[in-house]
């Protein structure tokens, strides 16, 4: 049976079909923000049409769909979520609004002429109730149920459709929160209720409350969407398994997701790094040894550029994320992003310097070449430079107007005393610099040398810009996968099905009670067994990864360490501590073995493996590479004002074993790849393009 992934992005909905034979088929449809299920079924419909089947028959033959969606992120960013009420501990009404005083992470301290933070729950919908739990887990004051009912009634009267219950120290004991949740559910079964410790059973109330509120804010819309999607799929003959792509890099059945809606943030971008790992692994397998240990997964779309640094095959996660102005502290795949994409606008800043982005023309009005706007974007510069085809953008679905691009780019150039061509080159270089800087920042933050990494470039715009960025950073190898423009969708084939559990319990290394920690893990395993049994997966199919967050006594930030064995005991504690000192030293250039360590949050990641992705290996080339030529374009390259006649190949007709010397272009209905002068490009066994500097 076939497997499907569908990734609903901001602009396009991507659909990949993995056939029984291992062949991959790629489809793209426009995203329909009003009702994303339309775009979902349009993409699926294109796939069905490809197989000359009615949609019902096609979906009836699909075993599993993995689905990523920007729905949650979009709702949050565009402020279209539910009317959320918050019930919190008496005396602590403003925790989320105060945000610990933290302003925009990347804003300058000297920019004060900005609006104050607007929390998702307005103050009148944030109500306090008498209750108190201590950090030890002891309930100091039982929940005042009468008051809770009165406050809940008030929220319901004001029209709240979601309620976040956020009590102090609920990570240590969720009793009061659960009691409150049950009461609210009894009073209003139709209301979406979230208890903070169920979303994030981890200490630090601002982070936990904010995350719970975000979850409640997007929860009702996610619930409705999931119901509608499941209903429509059933109607259309689908009887397989629907899995959702989560922020933490796992997939999960849809019913498990609706109660933890916040995990659907970043649902698409979280899959791209897995694609990179998988593709690089295949490449290594073909070559016969492991050359790509360290990967930079990059994805350049219409508005944003995402980066993930994969050191030694390990996809990094973070609990430090912000989504828009809101703090979201669940563990997420660490995919930092900047506003750099095909739609990024070029402008002149107050010091007379060229800037590109972070503002974007998006899909509408889109680049000047789309005919709706006058403002120059990266896509316009790429078009002026000859890199992308005016007549074959998305396989000819969108006609680009070169003249409009020229005019827009010329206007930018006029302000810099540059010709149109120079201006286009500057826009190209500037946006590459923005992306390169993000990569450098992300890498050095983690203490890695970017030159030891292989870049795996995806997204509609990745192919044009990847080699130029790699050259700036002295990255030796760039892989542009055959599925580049649908990289997240591809990644979704490779994800583990899983859930993550956490328990906070702060103890110094000298005060550890191994039985207590063992009980925490037993509790988490028990919970996991129940959760997986519900979706028909037995305990014997599960794998566990136990980690603990550690730091030196007194510090405020933790390092996550893998437990040296199935459980922590007096024997392997020394190993854990040794590993901690070593990892700390690797991260920060020094360590302090003379200082005691403490263990704070214990985590368990429970997964069931995905169905293996067996991709078909195409036959090696028999004809020469000339057979794949589809024409040529007059291109401009770095530092030269003369245009160069540059051959353009049809990716569809390139075969394993072919190689191309830059400058050259490789066109595909979903993207274009630029092989700049000085690069040598090989077509690997899966028809991925592998570029190296010569």
Partner 1 sequence: MSEIDPITLSTIWHSFQTLVREMRDMVSRTSQSYLMSQLRDLSVGIWLADGSTVAMPQGLLCQFIGTKHAIKAVKDYFGDDLRPGDVILTNDPYHGGNTHLPDWGFIRPIFYHGELLFFTLVRGHQQDTGGSFPGGYFPNSYDIHAEGLRIPPTKVFENDRERKDVMHLIWTNVRWPESVRVDNYAMVATTRFAEKRMHEVLDRYGKETVMACIEEMLNRTEQAMRAEIAAIPDGTYTGEAATDDDGTVLDEPVWVRVDITVNGDSLTADFSRSDAQRKGFVNCPAAAAYAIAVGSMMPLFDPALADYHNEGSLRPITVITPEGSVVNPRYPATVGAAPVNVGNQIATAVGQALSKARPNRAMAGWGKHRGCYVSAVDPRNGQPYVRTTFDYDGSAGAVTGHDGGTGPLSIGSLSTVRRGNAEEMEIRFPWRLLKWEVATDLMGAGRWRGGGGIEWRAVNEGTDGRIATGSSDGDTTQPPGAYGGYPSPCCRTFLLREGKPIRLKTHRMVEIKKGDVLVKISGGGGGVGLPTERPVELVALDVKDGMVSVQAARDIYGVAVDPRSFRVDEEETRRLRAQPQKTWDVVIDEESLEISVVPLAAG
Nearer to partner 1, 321 or 681 (CB): 321
Question: In this structure, how many other beta carbons lie within 10 angstroms of the beta carbon of residue 538?
Answer: 10
Question: Is there a contact between 493 and 18 (Cβ–Cβ < 8 Å)?
Answer: yes
Nearer to partner 1, 365 or 678 (CB): 678
| Nearest distance from C-beta of residue 435 to partner 1, angstroms | 12
The strand pair at 664-667 and 659-661 is best described as unpaired
Whole-angstrom distance, CA of residue 219 vs CA of residue 261: 5
Whole-angstrom distance, CA of residue 429 vs CA of residue 341: 13
Whole-angstrom distance, CA of residue 338 vs CA of residue 687: 29
582: left (phi over 0), alpha (psi -120 to 50) or beta: alpha
| Nearest distance from C-beta of residue 448 to partner 1, angstroms | 13
Nearer to partner 1, 127 or 311 (CB): 127
Cis peptide before 498 (omega within 30 of 0): no
- Residue pointed to by tokens 């569809």: 652
- Residue pointed to by tokens 């006649």: 645
| Nearest distance from C-beta of residue 404 to partner 1, angstroms | 25
Nearer to partner 1, 107 or 609 (CB): 107
Q: Which helix (H) or strand (E) holds 194?
A: strand 192-195
- Residue pointed to by tokens 């078009």: 383
**Bridge partners (DSSP) listed for residue 398:** 393
| Nearest distance from C-beta of residue 174 to partner 1, angstroms | 14
Question: In this structure, how many other beta carbons lie within 10 angstroms of the beta carbon of residue 593?
Answer: 14
| Nearest distance from C-beta of residue 298 to partner 1, angstroms | 17
- Beta strand segments in 90-181, E: 126-129, 132-133, 139-141, 162-166
Question: In this structure, how many other beta carbons lie within 10 angstroms of the beta carbon of residue 275?
Answer: 26
Whole-angstrom distance, CA of residue 485 vs CA of residue 651: 13
| Nearest distance from C-beta of residue 668 to partner 1, angstroms | 30
Nearer to partner 1, 584 or 649 (CB): 584
Question: Is there a contact between 523 and 606 (Cβ–Cβ < 8 Å)?
Answer: no
DSSP 8-class letter at 684: -
| Nearest distance from C-beta of residue 137 to partner 1, angstroms | 12
Whole-angstrom distance, CA of residue 76 vs CA of residue 61: 35
Nearer to partner 1, 105 or 287 (CB): 105
Nearer to partner 1, 63 or 97 (CB): 97
Question: Is there a contact between 161 and 83 (Cβ–Cβ < 8 Å)?
Answer: yes
Cis peptide before 193 (omega within 30 of 0): no
Polymer length in residues for the chain: 694
Nearer to partner 1, 392 or 580 (CB): 580
**DSSP three-state, residue 108:** coil
| Nearest distance from C-beta of residue 16 to partner 1, angstroms | 36
Binding site for partner 1 (CB under 8 A): 91-95, 97-103, 106-117, 122-124, 134-135, 168-169, 203-207, 349-355, 416, 426, 429-430, 433-434, 437, 440-441, 444-445, 506, 552-557, 588-590, 592, 595
| Nearest distance from C-beta of residue 146 to partner 1, angstroms | 21
Question: Is there a contact between 393 and 401 (Cβ–Cβ < 8 Å)?
Answer: no
- Beta strand segments in 142-191, E: 162-166
User: Nearest-CA neighbor of 166 among 130, 134, 217, 210?
Assistant: 210
Nearer to partner 1, 98 or 519 (CB): 98
- List b or e across 353-371, with b for residues whose CB sees 16 or more CB atoms inside 10 angstroms: ebbbbbbbbbbeebbbbbe
| Nearest distance from C-beta of residue 17 to partner 1, angstroms | 42
181: left (phi over 0), alpha (psi -120 to 50) or beta: alpha
Nearer to partner 1, 26 or 151 (CB): 151
| Nearest distance from C-beta of residue 3 to partner 1, angstroms | 41
Nearer to partner 1, 416 or 512 (CB): 416
Whole-angstrom distance, CA of residue 10 vs CA of residue 30: 9
Nearer to partner 1, 139 or 535 (CB): 139
| Nearest distance from C-beta of residue 231 to partner 1, angstroms | 39
User: Nearest-CA neighbor of 567 among 510, 506, 609, 523?
Assistant: 523
Nearer to partner 1, 139 or 416 (CB): 416
| Nearest distance from C-beta of residue 554 to partner 1, angstroms | 3
| Nearest distance from C-beta of residue 80 to partner 1, angstroms | 20
Nearer to partner 1, 119 or 386 (CB): 119
Whole-angstrom distance, CA of residue 269 vs CA of residue 295: 16
């Amino acid at each position: 049976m076939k497997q499907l992934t569908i990734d609903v992005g901001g602009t396009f909905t991507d659909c990949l079909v993995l056939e029984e034979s291992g062949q991959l088929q790629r489809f793209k449809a426009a995203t329909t923000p009003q009702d994303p299920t339309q775009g979902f079924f349009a993409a699926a419909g294109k796939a069905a049409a490809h197989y000359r089947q009615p949609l019902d028959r096609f979906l009836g033959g699909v075993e599993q769909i993995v689905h990523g969606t920007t729905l949650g992120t979009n709702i949050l960013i565009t402020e279209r979520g539910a009317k959320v009420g918050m019930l919190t501990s008496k005396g602590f009404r403003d925790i989320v609004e105060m945000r610990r005083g933290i302003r925009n992470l990347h804003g300058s301290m000297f920019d004060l002429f900005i609006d104050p933070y607007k929390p998702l729950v307005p103050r009148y919908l944030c109500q306090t109730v008498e209750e108190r739990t201590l950090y030890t887990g002891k309930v100091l004051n039982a929940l005042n149920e009468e008051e809770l009912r009165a406050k809940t009634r008030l929220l319901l009267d004001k029209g709240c459709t979601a309620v976040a219950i956020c009590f102090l120290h609920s990570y240590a004991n969720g009793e009061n929160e659960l009691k409150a949740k049950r009461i609210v559910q009894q009073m209003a079964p139709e209301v979406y209720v979230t208890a903070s410790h169920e979303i994030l059973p981890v200490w630090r109330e601002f982070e936990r409350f904010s995350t719970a509120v975000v979850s409640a804010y997007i929860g009702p819309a996610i619930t409705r969407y999931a119901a509608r999607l499941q209903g429509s799929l059933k109607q259309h003959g689908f009887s397989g398994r629907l899995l959702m792509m989560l922020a933490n890099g796992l997939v999960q059945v849809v019913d498990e997701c609706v109660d933890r809606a916040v995990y659907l943030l970043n649902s698409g971008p979280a899959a791209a790094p897995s694609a990179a790992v998988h593709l690089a692994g295949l490449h290594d397998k073909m070559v016969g040894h492991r050359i790509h240990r360290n990967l930079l997964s990059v994805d350049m779309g219409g508005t944003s550029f995402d980066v993930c640094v994969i050191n030694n095959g390990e996809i990094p996660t973070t609990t430090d994320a912000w989504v828009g102005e809101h703090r979201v502290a669940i563990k997420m795949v660490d995919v930092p992003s900047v506003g750099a994409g095909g739609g990024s606008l070029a402008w002149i800043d107050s010091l007379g310097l060229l800037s590109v982005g972070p503002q974007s023309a998006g899909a509408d009005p889109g680049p000047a070449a789309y005919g709706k706007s006058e403002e120059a974007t990266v896509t316009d510069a790429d078009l002026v430079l000859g890199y992308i085809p005016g007549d074959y953008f998305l396989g000819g679905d969108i006609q680009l107007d070169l003249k409009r691009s020229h005019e827009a780019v010329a206007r930018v150039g006029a302000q810099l005393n540059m010709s149109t061509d120079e201006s286009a080159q500057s826009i190209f270089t500037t946006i590459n610099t923005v992306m390169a800087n993000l990569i450098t920042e992300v890498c050095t933050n983690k203490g890695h040398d970017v030159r030891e990494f292989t870049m795996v470039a995806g997204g509609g715009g990745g192919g044009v810009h990847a080699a130029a960025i790699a050259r700036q950073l002295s990255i030796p190898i760039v892989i542009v996968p055959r599925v580049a423009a649908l990289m997240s969708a591809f990644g979704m084939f490779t994800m583990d099905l899983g859930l993550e559990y956490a328990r906070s319990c702060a103890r110094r290394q000298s005060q550890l009670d191994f039985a207590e920690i063992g009980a925490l893990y037993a509790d988490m395993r028990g919970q996991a067994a129940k959760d997986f049994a519900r979706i028909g997966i037995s305990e014997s199919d599960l794998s566990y990864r136990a980690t603990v967050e550690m730091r030196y006594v007194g510090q405020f930030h933790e390092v996550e360490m893998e437990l040296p064995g199935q459980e922590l005991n007096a024997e392997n504690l020394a190993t854990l501590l040794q590993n901690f000192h070593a990892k700390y030293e690797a991260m920060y250039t020094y360590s302090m073995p003379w200082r005691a360590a403490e263990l704070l949050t214990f985590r368990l990641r429970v997964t069931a493996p995905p169905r293996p992705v067996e991709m078909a290996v195409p036959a090696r080339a028999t004809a020469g590479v000339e057979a794949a030529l589809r024409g040529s374009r007059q291109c401009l390259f770095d530092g030269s004002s003369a245009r160069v006649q540059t051959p353009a190949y049809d990716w569809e007709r390139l075969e394993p074993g072919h190689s191309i010397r830059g400058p050259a272009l490789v066109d595909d209905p979903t993207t274009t790849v630029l092989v700049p002068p000085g690069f040598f490009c090989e077509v690997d066994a899966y028809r991925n393009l592998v570029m190296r500097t010569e």
